[in-house]
Amino acid sequence: MKTFHETSLPIKTMSSREQILANIKTNQPDYQKLDVQFKFDTVYENLFEKFSEILSFVGGKAIVVNNYEEIKADVQEHYKGVKNIATTISELSSLADFNLNISDPHDLEMLNLAIIKGDFAVAENGAIWVSEKHIPHRVLPMITQYLVIVVKKSEIVTNMHRAYERVKVDETGFGTFISGPSKTADIEQSLVIGAHGARGLTVYVLD
């Protein structure tokens, strides 16, 4: 049994770092091995159906397309007359009138629509992994008024355990799971879409 270490007596010669670490060493319980099962399988009949169902539950919309031409046509129809559209996807560059080749991310403030690539999607929670590999500015998916993400249908995994097998989180300096548009329910639990980030999220799933 370890003795209780009184931490309110600072040892003057030690830095806070050393003091904290020394106190931790004295007070932490005996080593406990980690041998519990922490990955689980989830079985869905249809990964896309599940993803689509959950995405609409969290306020987004999934649309299956066969090629980039269909995305173009759909974006042109839904965002008719909208200015300040940017994309990181070369196949869709004709949709864009806003060049992302800027140095100050504050300049993205006027952006109305950003169309970006997602690495893969997660069926159980409608999330899509977006990383610096595919976005030139970290704030891009949040600062834009509306967000479109393109992901391949073959790149949908079942659950978060599989997701973390897919992604190397420190491959880039920043990456995020995005599940639906920005939202809040801080005023009397009424759900409002578009808190600070995108007011809408459409996911095109490439078959």
The footprint of another protein on residues 49-68 (CB under 8 A) is 54, 57-58
Chain position carrying tokens 């995305």: 71
Site map 143..172 versus another protein, x via CB under 8 A: x---------------xxx-xxx-x-xx-x
Told to check if 200 binds another protein by CB under 8 A, we report no
Q: Which of 113, 178, 203, 205 binds another protein (CB under 8 A)?
A: 178
Told to check if 118 binds another protein by CB under 8 A, we report no
Q: Which of 67, 138, 156, 205 binds another protein (CB under 8 A)?
A: 138
Strands 61-65 and 85-87: unpaired
Told to check if 196 binds another protein by CB under 8 A, we report yes
Told to check if 16 binds another protein by CB under 8 A, we report yes
Which CB, 73 or 110, lies closer to another protein? 110
Told to check if 182 binds another protein by CB under 8 A, we report yes
The number of residues in the chain equals: 207
Instruction: Assign residue 189 a region (left: φ > 0; alpha: ψ between -120 and 50; beta: otherwise).
Output: left
Cα–Cα distance measured from residue 172 to residue 166, given in angstroms and rounded to the nearest whole number: 14
Strands 113-117 and 85-87: parallel
For residue 8, how many C-alpha atoms fall within 13 Å in the half-sphere facing its CB? 0
Q: Which of 139, 152, 155, 206 binds another protein (CB under 8 A)?
A: 139
- In 47-88, where do the E strands start and end? 61-65, 85-87
Q: Residue 123 CB, nearest distance to another protein (Å)?
A: 10
Q: Which of 46, 67, 94, 184 binds another protein (CB under 8 A)?
A: 184
Site map 17..36 versus another protein, x via CB under 8 A: x-xxx-xxxxxxxxxxxx-x
- In 42-123, where do the E strands start and end? 61-65, 85-87, 113-117, 120-122
The footprint of another protein on residues 66-105 (CB under 8 A) is 105
What are residue 113's DSSP bridge partners? Answer: 85, 146
Which CB, 95 or 125, lies closer to another protein? 125
User: Which of 68-76, 82-90, 118-126, 148-156 is the region at the interface with another protein (rule: CB under 8 A)?
Assistant: 118-126
Tell me phi and psi for residue 100, to 5 degrees: -80, 0
